[in-house]
Amino acid sequence: MRSSATPSAGPNLARETALAGARELFPALDDTAVYLDSASTTQKPRPVIEAVDRYHSRQTANAGRGTYPWATTLTRELERVRARMAGFLGAQPDEVVFTGGATAGLNAVALSWALTNLRDGDEILYSPRDHGSNVYPWHHLRQLLRAFGREIRLVPYRVTALGEADIDHLAAAITPRTRLITVAHLHHVFGALTTLEELRGRIDPGIALCFDCSQSGGHLPVDVTELDADFAVFSAHKMFGTPGTGVLYCRRRRHPELTPFLPGGNSAVALDLPPSHGNAQPHGDAMLRAGAMPRLLEGGTQNIPGILALGAALDVLDGFGLDAIAAHNRALTQRLIAGLRTIPDLEFLPGPAHAPCETGYGTVSFTLPGISATDLGFVLSEYGFLVRTGAHCVPADTVGRDEDSVRVSAHVYTTVDDIDRFTERVATIATEVR
C-alpha cells in the first residue's frame, strides 16, 4: 500500500503515459525487477539489438577498406551515423571521432592533445570527485611528461553542496599557466549539471574546455557549441547503445594541435621515412600531423556493430525526444527525493535534493545510518530493486565516507510506480534497521 507521506502522482508526474510504450522497446525488462542503474548502463531497445544482429548475420564486412558493395555500403552507413551524431551534438562531422568509449575519449585528449601541447609548468584544473575516467588520465599524463623532463601541475577544484563545480573556487584557481579545465557535465554520483557558463568572458579563450558528457548524453539536450567545448566525450552504452563504443568531440580550432594517439590502419598518418630515390619526404611533426580529422584519431578497425547500434540508439532517442526524456527524469527525481525525505536519518549526497529549485536529471545518491550501502543494495536486490552501491568509480584516494552510497538512476523505462515502490521499501528497511 502506498504511503500517505508520499505525494500522489499529478498530471505533471504521470510520465508513464507521457512516454507511453517506452518499456515495450526494451526486451530485457520484465515484471520481476525494477532497474534503477541507468547511470551505469542503459537498457537496450530493440532497434539497437537488431542493428547489431543485422551486421553479424547479413553482409558482414570491414568498412573503409574494400570497394565491393558490402564494404562500401557499410562505409556510407558509418559516415551517416557520424553525421547524425554531429547533428545530435551541434557539431560538424569532421569534429566527431568514434572511440572505444568515454574513457578512451578522455585518454585521447590527454595523449593526442595534451601530451604534445603542454609545457613545463602548465596546469590542468580538475575535480578529484569526478569519475576516475576524468581523473586518472591526467595523473597518467603527468607521469608521462615527467619522463620527458616536463612537470605539469594538476590543480583540484571543489564541488558545492548542490554537486556542481564550485565556479568561484575554480575561477580563483586559474592562472596564466592554465591550459585545460575538465569537468563532468552531469555528475555520475551527484546528478548535478555543470556548464561553466559563468566563466565565459572571464577566462583566456586559449584555455581548452573538456566536458565529460557520459551521463548527459541521451538524457538531456547537449550542444557543444553552447558549452563552448573544445573537447567532449560520450559513452554509447549510457545512451541506449552498446558497450565498447563512444564519441570524442574535437573542436575544429584544435585540429592542428592534434597528433594520433592510436596510429595504425586507416588513421591517415604518413611515415617519417628517410628520402628514397631522390624524392625528399617531410619529417617529424609535419608527418605526424599529416592525417585529416577525424581519421587521424581512428586507427585500426572500428567497432562497426557498435557504431551502427549508436545510429539506431540516436533514432530511438529522437523518437522519444530529449526534452521529453529530460522532463520525465526531472519529474522522477523530484518524486524520489520527496519520498526519501520522509525517511528519518536518511542523508542525501550533494545534488538536486539540496537545490533551491525543482531540478534533477534522474540520479540521486543517499546513505542510511545503521546499514552499509553494500548491504542495503543487496537487501534491495532481494526485493527486486537493482541499484548501484559503493564509491561509483570515484578514485579511491579521494573518496570520503559520504561517497560510499546507494545511487538510484532512472530513464524513460522507469515509472512513477517504480519510484513509489522503491521509496516504500527503503522506508521499511530503515524502520527495521532502527
Active site residues: 393
Q: Hey, what's the torsion of the CAs at 172, 360, 399, 217, to 10 degrees? A: -90
Q: Within 13 Å and on the Cβ side, how many CA atoms surround 392? A: 34
Cα–Cα nearest to 68, from 59, 58, 55: 59
Rounded Cα–Cα distance for residues 29 and 35 (Å): 8
Residue pair 208/231 in contact by the 8 Å Cβ criterion: yes
Rounded Cα–Cα distance for residues 351 and 140 (Å): 29
390 strand-pairing partners: 405
Cα–Cα nearest to 254, from 293, 285, 199, 286: 293
* Residues contacting residue 60 through CB under 8 Å, at least 6 positions apart: 70
Among positive and negative, which fits the CA dihedral 61, 65, 69, 75?
Answer: positive
How many CB atoms within 10 Å of residue 258? 22
Where does 154-203 have alpha helices with state H? 167-173
Residue type, 305: P
Q: Cell 619522463 belongs to which residue?
A: 147
Q: Output b/e per residue, 226-254; b: 16+ Cβ within 10 A.
A: ebebbbbbbbbbbbbbbbebbbbbbbeeb
Q: Which three cell numbers stand for residue 395?
A: 578514485
Q: How far is CA 398 from CA 140, 289, 338, 380, 427, in A?
A: 16, 37, 30, 27, 30
